[in-house]
Chains A and B, each alone.
Chain A
């Protein structure tokens, strides 16, 4: 099976449990199990190749420009982890089916589990570090969902948040480290990176990369001082704990250290950072675990300890230590998953996980007792179980390790950790299953149904088999995996067997076992000492740090973002002016190459009008109506200027936009105060004026300088001019650019315009459905209303003009491709034709005659434009490529058709719909009941009696 499929299967399968849960819990569990089984089967197909030491790959160049390739590879190391993830995943799916209660949403559980599983498989199969980082962050996210699965429990939520903060934060550090690594090598492909040990270790960026990557690994694998999140993640349901903390999530950090081992290990920095961290974690975890009364907390700290053990072995940097580390990963996964499931069974059957309330369960739960005891003894490191073998190898390695010239420090501390490890393992057996039977269990304990104990039993069989026949059962696998880790070099001699003779490791094992038994016998006394000792509580520290961070960011946000918009505006303007000044003082400017055009009289008059009106707005802006009139003057002059300066399309657009903008502003002014009161101090006004004048001077000077110089580089406009007719079939180059050369931009713009109109509509709906409505219905207008709200003259004139205006719109539209005009302008003109009816005959009258919804007009416009663009695909052309031709129908002159015309239709409809929807929404503010008129005009020429009396009658 392709590696793509193996990695994708869990993600694809994640859909099914969520859907199938309606068909029952068995259906959901089966779907999850089947998916995992298929992926596992696909993986196992590759056994022969992997065992031969080959690397199975699957390549897909996704974004080669960024070095982001979806490359997967399967070597021994990836195979081992994928096997653990999928194999134990399958057992967990079985176990969880019987563990979760009826109230738990099981579909969600399996969906989260499969998402997590997919992310993990992705990590171990990735051959590209960017891809690996994506999967890495996905595990943080999906484990957040799993840990917080019991969302009704505050511990669950807090634990999930803590896990996400710690592992996600470490993941961010790792992204930086990986990017540095990729830059050193010049490739983001793992297989390339792994070939460049010398290059990486000689680089000055080796240290930062190492530290950042290790931060990611240590947080994920719960190494000191980031170990605290793991025990808090125990608030999750037991299947999650068993899965995340035995075989998968926390092993991801170990995986990455092993993966990077060939290029990162072997330096002093690696040894002292990794081995020391591992050693401290191993010892600390073991000591704390002994004094935990919660079964799962005990197992959590023991997991921390064992992760430290593997980290330490990887840190040693020797090949034989790698073999021991890989072997221990296998062993730990088997016995720890079994132990977690056992703890879950005990919790499930006795309703408590408190060691102090348990004891004497061996007769009540014989099966559970057997499973738990075998697994725990393996954890303690007793022969002939598998834990013994790898622990022996670990102790043997420590004996050969010197730490800062000390031969005794590492073996001594490792022995101490092993001793505590033995003690807590014995406690797991002794204080839960042995001892006198009690009569105060919270529930009557008995062995669970087979569904619950089958999975741990299977694992315990493995524990025993690996212990007895290690060379036969896992020997080849360990050899292949270790070979993959050390990068294909020859493995040193080692043998996986129970009896190595009287070695130092054997004596140390014996001391650890006996010492562990002794420690357990003294547990009560030890506990008193332990409880008397001052201990930093990690959660308190973590919460304090998080609170301090929250306070700091809130303070920064409040200071910067205090809701005073005018302050943001002035900061923005001042900053931009500063940037401009910087550019002005540091940049260079070419010589003047253009002769200015002579200024004629009429443009000077226009200029005087424009500047006068602008200054007038500034001066009279408190009188809002007057300033609207003045801004109309500005807009008019700007349109005339466009026309004068050879831009007829712009002139047409500007003047029609001017009309609708004015109507919009007038309508809004109807509801706003008519005067702007004085509310800034004189000093503030002078400051604002100074900044504005500087900004204005700068802008004016800049455009003046630009206009007097030719282009520094050849422009694309010449291409447009040359190809407009040949390639686009139109002589109006501006229109051809809009609908053809840059059609995609235009497509985006009509969508934006449509969205703006929909926002306006939505805002209107929201405001009018609030209590504003009653205010609007009762408000008094600012100005006395005209006695004749729909003057006869205007009504008649606008109705007469309607067809003419529509005709003009059609004319402007059709000539657009060759002469000034086009969809934008035609849309605006038709919108104005409709607006005239609204104004003259009233909103109600117009709305009653409205045959179509403006939303739909916008939608059709966008759809037609899109369909035109898609049409190009059917001719194997890129999106929005246009086609055109010429038709000759006598007696008409030859005329041209172009697909761009259809696109322009879309533009026309979208613009028309957007303008109408915006103004229509605004008009609804003014609507009042009783405005509907029976007759199209206030005065009905056919009637004798005046309408006022009619209305009065109705009111009575």
Chain B
């Protein structure tokens, strides 16, 4: 089981990194989503894997529990990552609509500095 989780994390990380190195906005967004999955599973797995041992206390018998702390961290991470995804989607959408271009790299022409403002 551990090997499955580890390979899944590795594959998602690799695919995510490959996609964020692309030069258009949409693949970068996809890549970030994949990395988010990978990171969340990674964090979750630092609590070690356990089957049928949710961290919900059982009043009647003594049963083993999985580590609840990484779960709490990952729960908020999932929700926050939605906020992050939404913000980048919005930024790339606005950029595309304003310039009709979805390249993420600025060209040399875009980089021409505004004239110095010092007197």
Contacts and interface: CB of A to CB of B under 8 A. Distances in A.
A650 B74 CA distance: 7
Interface string B92-111: 11101110001111111011
Interface of B: 1-27, 29-30, 33-34, 37-38, 40-42, 44-59, 65-69, 71-72, 74-76, 78-87, 89-94, 96-98, 102-108, 110-111, 113, 116, 118-119
A707 B26 CA distance: 33
A951 B11 CA distance: 53
- The secondary-structure label for the interface of chain A is helix
A635 B85 CA distance: 14
Given A566-B105, A696-B11, A753-B79, A621 B97 contact: no
B11 A732 contact: no
Interface in A735-772: 737-738, 742, 745-746, 749, 752-753, 756-757, 759-760, 763-764, 766-767, 770, 772
A223 interface: no
Contacts of A614: 11-12, 15, 34
Contacts of B106: 562-565
Contacts of B113: 554, 558
Contacts of B45: 703, 706-707
Interface stretch (A279-287, A475-483, A786-794, A914-922): A914-922
Given A699-B42, A764-B90, A721 B68 contact: yes
A745 B69 CA distance: 13
Given A604-B4, A696-B17, A767-B94, A672 B26 contact: yes
Nearest to A642: B44
A153 B78 CA distance: 55
18 contacts: A558-B111, A566-B105, A597-B2, A617-B19, A621-B22, A635-B37, A646-B51, A649-B71, A661-B82, A696-B10, A699-B38, A703-B5, A707-B49, A734-B68, A738-B72, A759-B90, A772-B97, A824-B79
B76 A717 contact: no
A720 B70 CA distance: 12
Interface stretch (A176-184, A419-427, A663-671, A892-900): A663-671
Contacts of A646: 50-55, 66
Contact of A594 (B8, B46, B48): B48
Interface of A: 154, 157-158, 550, 554, 558, 562-567, 569-570, 573, 594, 596-600, 603-604, 607, 610-611, 614-615, 617-618, 621, 624, 627-628, 631, 634-635, 638, 641-642, 644-650, 653-654, 657, 660-661, 664-665, 668-669, 671-673, 676-677, 679-680, 688-689, 691-693, 695-697, 699-701, 703-704, 706-708, 710, 715-717, 720-721, 724-725, 731-734, 737-738, 742, 745-746, 749, 752-753, 756-757, 759-760, 763-764, 766-767, 770, 772, 775-776, 818-820, 824, 828, 911, 914-915, 918-919, 921-922, 925
A189 B63 CA distance: 57
**Max chain B CB contacts within 10 Å: which of A624, A691, A733, A918?**
A733
Given A573-B21, A596-B3, A715-B67, A776 B80 contact: no
A763 B119 contact: no
A746 B69 CA distance: 13
A571 to B, nearest CB: 11
A947 B70 CA distance: 55
A757 B90 CA distance: 10
A689 B20 CA distance: 11
B3 to A, nearest CB: 7
A611 B14 contact: no
A749 B90 CA distance: 20
